[in-house]
Amino acid sequence: MKQYFYERECQNPELREQSLLERLPAFITYAKQECQHYSQTLEHIDAEKITSRELLAQLPITRKADLMQLQSQNSPLGGLTAKTANLGRIFQSPGPIYDPENTSEDWWRMGQAFYAAGFRKGDLVQNCLSYHLTPGGFILDSGARACGCIVIPAGPGQTEQQLDIIEHLKPQGYCGTPSFLKILLDKASKNTRDISSVNKALVTGEALPEALRAEFIAAGIETLQAYASADVGLIGFESIVGDGFIIGEDLLVEIVRPGSLEPVAVGEIGEVVVTSFNVDYPLIRFATGDLSAVKPEISACGRTNMRIKGWLGRADQTTKIKGMFVHAGQIEQIRKEYQHIAKMRLSVTKVNYNDQMNLQCELDTKAYPDADLVSVIENISASLKKITKLSGTVELVTVGTLADDGKVIDDLRPIG
* 107 plus 218 within the same structural domain: yes
From 290, 313, 336, give the residue that closes a domain.
Answer: 313
* 268 plus 330 within the same structural domain: no
Confidence of residue 27 (pLDDT cuts 50, 70, 90): very high
Cβ atoms of residues 415 and 209 within 8 Å: no
| pLDDT higher than 70, residue 406 | no
Dihedral (CA of 323, 329, 330, 335) sign:
positive
- Let me know if residue 274 belongs to a domain: yes
Residues 212-267 have pLDDT tens digits of: 999 999 999 999 999 999 999 999 999 999 999 999 999 999 999 887 788 988 99
Could you give the number of structural domains in the chain?
2
- pLDDT at residue number 361: 95
94 vs 256, residue with greater confidence: 256
* 308 plus 328 within the same structural domain: no
| pLDDT higher than 90, residue 191 | yes
- Let me know if residue 318 belongs to a domain: no
Sheet holding 200-203, edge to edge: 150-153, 124-127, 173-176, 200-203, 222-229, 233-237, 245-247, 307-308, 294-295
- Let me know if residue 340 belongs to a domain: yes
Range of the domain at 187: 7-313
Cβ atoms of residues 354 and 183 within 8 Å: yes
* 173 plus 217 within the same structural domain: yes
3-state secondary structure of 259: coil
Of 98, 99, 202, the residue nearest 149 (C-alpha): 202
Of 12, 31, 32, 103, the residue nearest 278 (C-alpha): 31
* 228 plus 361 within the same structural domain: no
* 35 plus 140 within the same structural domain: yes
What CATH number is associated with residue 15? 3.40.50.12780
Which string of DSSP letters, residue by residue, matches 100-117?
A: EE--STTTT--HHHHHHT
- pLDDT at residue number 200: 98
Count the residues in the chain: 416
Residues 358-377 have pLDDT tens digits of: 999 998 877 777 768 888 99
- Let me know if residue 135 belongs to a domain: yes
- pLDDT at residue number 18: 97
- CB-based contacts of 135, cutoff 8 Å, min separation 6: 89, 91, 93, 99, 101, 108, 230
Calculate mean pLDDT across residues 68-91. 96
What CATH number is associated with residue 373? 3.30.300.30
Calculate mean pLDDT across residues 12-23. 97
* 309 plus 220 within the same structural domain: yes
Within the chain, what is the greatest distance between any pair of CA atoms?
71
* 195 plus 338 within the same structural domain: no
* 187 plus 132 within the same structural domain: yes
- pLDDT at residue number 214: 97
Calculate mean pLDDT across residues 22-51. 97
Residues 381-403 have pLDDT tens digits of: 999 999 999 999 999 998 889 88
- Let me know if residue 116 belongs to a domain: yes
The lowest-confidence range among 42-46, 167-171, 229-233, 315-319 is: 315-319
Calculate mean pLDDT across residues 176-202. 97
pTM of the model: 0.83
3-state secondary structure of 23: helix
| pLDDT higher than 80, residue 405 | no
The lowest-confidence range among 181-185, 198-202, 205-209 is: 205-209
| pLDDT higher than 90, residue 148 | yes
Distance of alpha carbon 228 from alpha carbon 129, whole angstroms? 13
Provide the mean pLDDT of the chain.
93
- Let me know if residue 278 belongs to a domain: yes
Calculate mean pLDDT across residues 265-270. 91
* 253 plus 363 within the same structural domain: no
* 115 plus 27 within the same structural domain: yes
Calculate mean pLDDT across residues 274-279. 98
| pLDDT higher than 90, residue 293 | yes
Distance of alpha carbon 234 from alpha carbon 251, whole angstroms? 9
Cβ atoms of residues 188 and 195 within 8 Å: yes
- pLDDT at residue number 416: 61
Distance of alpha carbon 119 from alpha carbon 174, whole angstroms? 10
State which of 88-97, 196-205, 304-313 shows the largest mean pLDDT: 196-205
* 162 plus 252 within the same structural domain: yes
367 vs 304, residue with greater confidence: 304
- Let me know if residue 319 belongs to a domain: no
Instruction: Give, in degrees to the nearest 5, the angle at Cα 99 between 77 and 115.
Output: 145
Cα distances (Å, whole numbers) of residue 130 to 52, 137, 262 = 39, 5, 36
The lowest-confidence range among 11-20, 37-46, 340-349 is: 340-349
- Let me know if residue 223 belongs to a domain: yes
Distance of alpha carbon 223 from alpha carbon 173, whole angstroms? 10
From 263, 289, 313, give the residue that closes a domain.
Answer: 313
From 313, 347, 371, give the residue that closes a domain.
Answer: 313
